[in-house]
Amino acid sequence: MTEQRRIILDELEKTCRHPSASEIYERVKKRMPHISLGTVYRNLEVLSSRGMIKKLSMPTGQKRFDAGREDHQHVRCLSCGRVDDLPTQADENLEAIAARVSDASGYRRLGFAVDFYGICPGCAGETKKERQ
């Protein structure tokens, strides 16, 4: 792995905030001042095509990145694009749903992805303020 790619992966693993390519670029630039956004983006694409990180497509078309930790679900804010990991206790119920789906369909289950959408506490606070 190249030094650039190692640092990009390292910066992504340090955060659970699901940064966009430009946010990762800002972090990586502090360690490699001459790196370009294009280089960061290309390396993120390579890492995700190798399954080392996850690429999350937002409804807005923006892409955010997640270090390839164990499987987990996401909840996304439709207002600001923030993405949070769901607490693991939610996953047991999802497992049960996934098992029922594979029983009913006869498919061998390889995995599943569930996306939750909403308004994050930060954005909910702002709309409350605007109304007052």
Q: Rounded to whole angstroms, how far apart are CA atoms 68 and 97?
A: 23
Pick between residue 45 and residue 85 the one whose CB is nearest to Zn ion. 85
Which one of the spans 22-30, 33-41, 80-88, 109-117 is the region binding Zn ion (CB under 5 A)? 80-88
Indicate whether 66 belongs to the interface with Zn ion (CB under 5 A). Answer: yes
71: part of which helix (H) or strand (E)? none
Indicate whether 123 belongs to the interface with Zn ion (CB under 5 A). Answer: yes
Binding Zn ion by CB under 5 A: which of 15, 73, 79, 102? 79
Indicate whether 80 belongs to the interface with Zn ion (CB under 5 A). Answer: yes
Pick between residue 48 and residue 79 the one whose CB is nearest to Zn ion. 79
What are the backbone angles phi and psi of residue 60, rounded to the nearest 5°? Answer: -80, -5
What's the Cα-to-Cα distance from 123 to each of 13, 20, 65, rounded to whole Å?
A: 26, 19, 21
Taking 3-state DSSP, the helix, strand and coil percentages for the chain, each rounded to the nearest 5, stand at 50, 15, 35
Pick between residue 11 and residue 66 the one whose CB is nearest to Zn ion. 66
Indicate whether 120 belongs to the interface with Zn ion (CB under 5 A). Answer: yes
